[in-house]
Chains A and B, each alone.
Chain A
Amino acid sequence: MENKGLETVYRENNFRFSLKIDRYLLGLFIVLGAIIVVMSFLSANFLTHTNLLNVLQQASFVMILAFGMTFVLSTGGIDLSVGSICGICGGMAAWLLNKDVNVAIAIAAALLLGVIIGAVNGLTITKLNLSPFMATLAMMIILRGILYVWTGAIPFRSYMTSSFQFLGSGRIFGVQFPVIVAIVLLVVLLILYRKMKFGRHILALGSSEEAVRISGIKVDMLRIKVYALSGLIAAAAGVLLASRLATVNPEMGKGYELEAIAAAIIGGTALTGGKGTLVGTALGAIILFMIKNAMNLKNVNPYWETIVIGFIILLAVAVPILAGYIKGRVKNS
């Protein structure tokens, strides 16, 4: 009988947990709404068509990286090299365009480079048995170094063509192209994540590697694919950024990996794997950049921005734990 009791408690605990995920997404919408309402009173410039589109445009690059990061985190891994991949692949596109290579070929080469780097990440993790943290940290530093050497610390310039410029600055129905890319990617990746074998296996891998192995799935290949996808997505963000900025300086994309991780975590993806939500990640990125925008409008010293973002991440991670803890206490007493 004692066992029965235990099982009931266990079940209640987990039932609460599953409810919380749904509530969490709802909570994100509420937070987002609250920021919009408060800011619309504080600043006349906030709730304008132009400003909101701007926030989306600024958020789009990190959001795209964060989509890839959500896949990686869902397996229980991490990819710290996405910022550097973003930089070096943007650099690749710029360098080729500067050599008068066809736009399509330049973009394809940059994306291919991203896939290759990601696959190398996956290979070092699976075949050399490195922890994802160490493997991608090393990759992040190596790539950044290569970009410095390659550019000679002088930014790539004068590569812009009118068709390439459209990627970063063009608009469709008044919406910036990077935002469109982010939305299309969200839809495509959602299908991949929720409706296809790949996403199912990734969530299973983050949930229990043993279960995946015993089900006869090639675990190493799956991991390599995930990091290759993350590399591809980072490369896409790099190409967009190269177009948007019109110069590729060797610092491009630096620190983006942390913002991408922050967006995914604020969005409710677990660092331990097995759980993740792309919609949450998108909301996380928007909230992050909306707060930056709000502080910008209120002329807050930009250095404060970093501190505030840090606290938001802390809050995002702590809230679900605290909520569970308080409920647990109430139940026990």
Chain B
Amino acid sequence: MAVEDDHVLISLTGITKEFPGVKALENVSLDVRKGEVLALVGENGAGKSTLIKILSGLYHKDNGEIRVRGKSVEIQDARHAQELGISTIFQEPTLAPHLTAVENVYLGREIYHSYFGGTVKILNEKEMYQETEKLYRNFFSTVEDLKRPVIELGALKNRVIEIAKALSVKASVVIMDEPTAALAEHEREVLFDFIRALKEQGVSVIYVSHHLKELFLLADRFHVMRDGKHIATVSADETDIDQLVSMMVGREISNFIAKETVPIGEESLRVIGLNQPGVLKNINFHIKKGEIVGIAGLAGSGRTETVRAVVGADRISSGAVEVDGKPFRIQSPRDAIRAGIGLLPENRKLHGALIEMSVSNNITLASIKRVLSKKFVLKKKAELDIASDYVQRLGIKTPTVHQKVRFLSGGNQQKVILAKWLFTKPKVLIFDEPTIGIDVGAKVEVYNLMAEFVRGGGGILMVSSDLPELMGLSDRIYVMHKGEFVHEFSRDEATEENIMYYASGGHQ
């Protein structure tokens, strides 16, 4: 790691960043050379996002050194990073939708005509247009739609505008976080051509992506991260997908998950040909009574979208759902409840529980009719009895059933949501990230409750980014990639390596 080497534009040494309870980055080092595409790869939570946020000035490092062109710097904020020549294109679009391409490129750095000794500054639209046009000709050899609001343009053009914006500040390093996320296949190729053009002009690119296959078309070197640590940096011609995957995963499977064998019964839920344009493509799967079925996939592969579509929370363009072998029209979560399907969403505080309401109110929420007398009046006593019963059975730790859910721990919130669904007498429960943000002890309790549910003849569909958890609990695992189910594993076939292989598009 020769810092004096003038081919090295940025060099990080020993970067550490801690958040309360989590070590997001531990002693990470990285070099960016002039005119290269450096791919930053790793599983969800490996620390890639934290690293690029430090480089773009959104987070401050706790420890370590950043050198830009050999000079040690402390990156203060986004503007300072830009002044150092580092521009970032985030995964989420960051253009103002009602402004035009030119207006967006120059947002915050407008060019003026000055009048009255600089007291009145009128925007110099012409020069901004010409400069943007020049930039486009230079890098993209195409100029169009510079004067239309960007909301009217497609995903690819929006990406190109963001790149133009990044370049217009004279960036020598452009960081791109999943730039192809919203793009169609042929658009990706266009974008890759643009990125190669940047390289030729001596601009370096730090490219963050899950799609290993794609990266081999572009990257010069791979920087592999795992659990906040730098694992290895390898040249693209000296490695392959298999090696990268094993470096990205390389963990011991935790052994606190004890899978119970439960007799598998009749088919309970079948989903046929689910489609949602641009998001989900021909999703087919089934769950039998007593089965836990897992969905694996990387962030953005369409896992949450799948479960939301199944319970009618999002619209689908085509597809059918069968419950116990009979077709069931599901157009809203209300239909799903009637069909006997419950969803425990990933974001418990936002979508799962009413955190400002009491434990008892939350438990009876989805089947309130069952605690009404004469259809209108709440039977307070009955509601409290039912709630107390569930609190006891599920071991929910709360002082009383009147406690607001907000004050419970993550694990107990999850149990309250589970109690709510159990009270609807469901046939199938869908868990989206069942133990995210829950400590280890409570995790085991949640696993036990899931096992109890399938023992009683229920079926479970679970989405989890925690591969050991997914593999430890599931009877079968479907792998998603870009909105499709690309592979199905039986419990015995599934390993972290081959799940990651399919999840990152290695099969294509």
Contact = CB atoms under 8 A, between A and B. Distances in A.
Given A200-B107, A275-B98, A216 B123 contact: no
Interface residues on B, range: 35 or more
Contact of A196 (B79, B123, B278): B123
Interface string A145-182: 00000000000000000000000000000000000000
B155 A211 contact: no
A50 interface: no
B103 A200 contact: yes
Interface stretch (A64-72, A78-86, A201-209, A257-265): A201-209
A212 B108 contact: yes
A3 B96 contact: no
Contacts of B281: 2
B96 A203 contact: yes
A301 B109 CA distance: 55
B112 interface: yes
A214 interface: yes
B151 interface: yes
B94 A2 contact: no
A7 interface: yes
Interface in B67-101: 77-79, 82, 90, 92, 94-99
B96 A274 contact: yes
Interface in B107-146: 107-110, 112, 121-123
A147 to B, nearest CB: 35
Nearest to B123: A195
A211 B104 contact: yes
A311 interface: no
Contacts of A211: 94-96, 104, 107
A203 B110 contact: no
A215 interface: yes
B263 interface: no
Interface string B42-83: 000000000000000000000000000000000001110010
Nearest to B125: A195
Nearest to A74: B98
Given A2-B277, A11-B152, A11-B153, A197 B99 contact: no
B232 interface: no
Contacts of B99: 200, 203-204, 207
A274 B99 CA distance: 8
B94 A214 contact: yes
B84 to A, nearest CB: 13
A109 B264 CA distance: 82
Interface in A200-255: 200-201, 203-204, 206-208, 210-217
B46 to A, nearest CB: 24
A10 B92 CA distance: 18
A323 interface: no
B190 interface: no
Contacts of B151: 14
A285 B323 CA distance: 58
A204 B96 contact: yes
A215 B162 CA distance: 11
A212 B107 contact: yes
A15 B122 CA distance: 29
Given A14-B152, A191-B122, A216-B78, A197 B110 contact: yes
Most buried by B among A1, A15, A207: A207
A197 B121 contact: yes
B441 interface: no
Given A7-B155, A18-B152, A207 B94 contact: no
B278 A2 contact: yes
Given A207-B99, A208-B96, A274-B97, A3 B123 contact: no
A4 interface: yes
Most buried by A among B153, B154, B186: B154
6 contacts: A11-B153, A197-B121, A200-B110, A204-B107, A212-B96, A274-B97
Given A2-B277, A18-B152, A201-B108, 4 more contacts: A11-B152, A214-B90, A216-B82, A217-B108
7 A-B pairs with least C-beta separation: A215-B108, A3-B184, A207-B96, A216-B79, A204-B96, A211-B96, A207-B98
